């Protein structure tokens, strides 16, 4: 009886372990950062950046898509239209790709300021559950950010100068918790990885 009772107990324990929910997978920090670095390394030129994004396997988002990235891009265009300056928006396109189980979005854009152009490549994980840790960011970038701030409750921002590459102006890794930017009207939640560069026009 003792042996049979022990066996029944072991079988019950095994069954309970099989039915227990699996532990949540850790966020694929390295894979997401690598996808960002690959796609955004050529942002000095929007044409080069577009080619890099497509070559890396990103798919263009249809113009009639109503997802989070489209809403954010439309918000940015509306704000630029409201400005009094003569800045002209350069549309680089919107893309998406699944990386290590994460649905990422990417936006290429630029602003023409006459004698110079500012180019940006942004990768978003709108459903990211938390910011990337300072240790992971420093280990990946091989240097500490020039600044790490919390401009608003639930919003963190890390900035490097120079940026992703020596010729880039800036790199930023930010995270907005749900509702953190509600008061600003900016339709953004989650992780944002940004590479920016400036192109000076020849006279």
Give the model confidence (pLDDT) of 94-106 as tens digits: 999 999 999 999 9
CA-CA distance, 100 to 133, in Å (whole number)?
Answer: 18
pTM: 0.84
3-state secondary structure at position 88: strand
| pLDDT for res 141 | 93
Residue of 181 and 17 predicted with greater confidence: 181
Interstrand relation of 190-200 and 88-99 (parallel, antiparallel or unpaired): unpaired
Residue 28 has pLDDT above 90, yes or no: yes
| pLDDT for res 82 | 77
Structure tokens at 27: 């966020």
Least confident range from 85-89, 99-103, 182-186: namely: 85-89
Residue 76, phi then psi, degrees to nearest 5: -65, -40
Sheet holding 147-152, edge to edge: 59-60, 88-99, 102-112, 116-125, 190-200, 170-176, 155-160, 147-152
Which are the contacts of 11, defined by CB distance < 8 A and separation ≥ 6? none
CA-CA distance, 109 to 87, in Å (whole number)?
Answer: 13
* DSSP state for residue 86 in the 8-state scheme: -
User: Distances in Å between the alpha carbon of 68 and those of 28, 75, 94, 102?
Assistant: 21, 11, 11, 15
| pLDDT for res 98 | 97
CA-CA distance, 194 to 109, in Å (whole number)?
Answer: 11
**Per residue, what are the HEC states of 137-198?**
HHHHHCCCCCEEEEEECCEEEEEECCCCCCCCCEEEEEEECCCCCHHHCCCCCEEEEEEEEE
DSSP for 11-67?
Answer: HHHHHHHHHSPPPPPPP-HHHHHHHHHHHHTTTTSHHHHHHHHHHTT-EEPPTT--S
Given pLDDT bands bounded at 50, 70 and 90, which one contains residue 144? very high
């Amino acid at each position: 009886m003792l042996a049979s009772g022990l066996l029944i107990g072991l079988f019950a324990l095994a069954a309970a372990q099989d039915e227990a929910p699996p532990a949540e997978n850790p966020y694929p920090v390295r894979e997401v950062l690598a996808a960002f670095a690959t796609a955004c390394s050529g942002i000095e030129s929007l044409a080069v950046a577009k080619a890099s994004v497509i070559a890396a396997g990103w798919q263009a988002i249809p113009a009639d898509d109503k997802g989070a990235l489209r809403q954010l891009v439309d918000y940015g265009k509306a704000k630029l239209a409201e400005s009094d300056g003569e800045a002209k928006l350069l549309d680089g396109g919107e893309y998406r790709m699944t990386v290590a189980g994460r649905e990422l979005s990417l936006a290429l854009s630029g602003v023409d300021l006459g004698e110079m152009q500012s180019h940006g490549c942004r990768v978003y994980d709108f459903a990211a559950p938390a910011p990337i840790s300072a240790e992971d960011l420093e280990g990946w970038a091989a240097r500490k950010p020039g600044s790490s701030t919390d401009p608003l409750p639930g919003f963190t921002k890390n900035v490097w100068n120079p940026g992703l590459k020596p010729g880039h102006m800036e790199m930023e890794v930010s995270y907005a918790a749900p509702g953190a930017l509600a008061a600003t009207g900016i339709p953004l939640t989650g992780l944002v990885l940004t590479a920016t560069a400036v192109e000076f026009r020849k006279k």
